[in-house]
Amino acid sequence: MKVYIVRHGQVPHNAISQYNTEDEDLTELGIAQAEELKDKIKNMKFDIIISSPLTRAKHTADILNINNNKIIYDDMIRERNCGDLSGKPLEVTNREEYWNYYTTIQYGTSENIKLFFGRVYKFLDKLKQENYKSVLIVAHSGISKAFYGYFNGIPEDGRFLNLGLKNCEIKEYTL
């Protein structure tokens, strides 16, 4: 099965470099990014689209759904919950440590990275049981980091900060 993961288009908290758990929609740039990606993938056929239930991912999925595929919304691919970091600048944490699989640092009430990756891995294990040829996943940067770990293993240093997708970037995996 071919699995294509896309990160949603830009949202306000991306533009101002802060943590956020609010369910916000795409910015004008985010919509333009999704429209540009739609043109790049217009000839690709997907059996189904699976999206995070957050508005930014749903809106991106709707824009990309040029063949009117069924869209399923799955809580298992919600972004990592940043807890009480929400609304704070990214600089309040050591970003390398925040995205280090082996860290022993707990930043406030944010979701533990190992538990977060475990949630995404369960999603992928469940997806393996389906009989799809090609699936489009619309989710988040953190989800794309967990996908990287699932398909490529955990890097020796455990660092995932720079292994996530940019807004409306797409990556293909074989499941």
pLDDT, tens only, 13-64: 999 999 986 899 999 999 999 999 999 999 999 999 999 999 999 999 999 9
Looking at residue 22, its pLDDT comes to 80
Show the domains of the chain with their CATH numbers. Answer: 2-174 (3.40.50.1240)
Spell out, as residue ranges, where the chain has pLDDT lower than 70. Answer: 21
How far does Cα 44 stand from its chain's mean position? 20
Q: Catalytic site residue 59?
A: no
The pLDDT value recorded for residue 115 is: 98
- pLDDT at residue 39, rounded to an integer: 97
Catalytic status, residue 13: no
* Per-residue tokens: 116: 């977060």
DSSP string covering 82-111, please?
-GGGTTSBGGGS-HHHHTBTT-----TTPP
Sign of torsion, CA 75 76 82 84?
positive
For residue 143, what pLDDT is reported? 98
Catalytic residue among 13, 79, 111, 140: 79
In this structure, which long-range contacts are made by residues 70-77, counting pairs with CB atoms below 8 Å and at least 24 apart in sequence?
72/48, 74/50, 74/123, 76/119, 76/120, 76/122, 76/123, 76/126, 77/50, 77/51, 77/52, 77/120, 77/123, 77/137, 77/139, 77/140, 77/143
CB neighbourhood size of 21 (10 A): 19
Assign residue 126 a region (left: φ > 0; alpha: ψ between -120 and 50; beta: otherwise).
alpha
Which of these is catalytic: 8, 13, 59, 140?
8
Inter-CA distances, 101 with 2, 22, 148, 171, Å: 26, 24, 12, 21
Q: So what's the pLDDT on residue 20?
A: 85
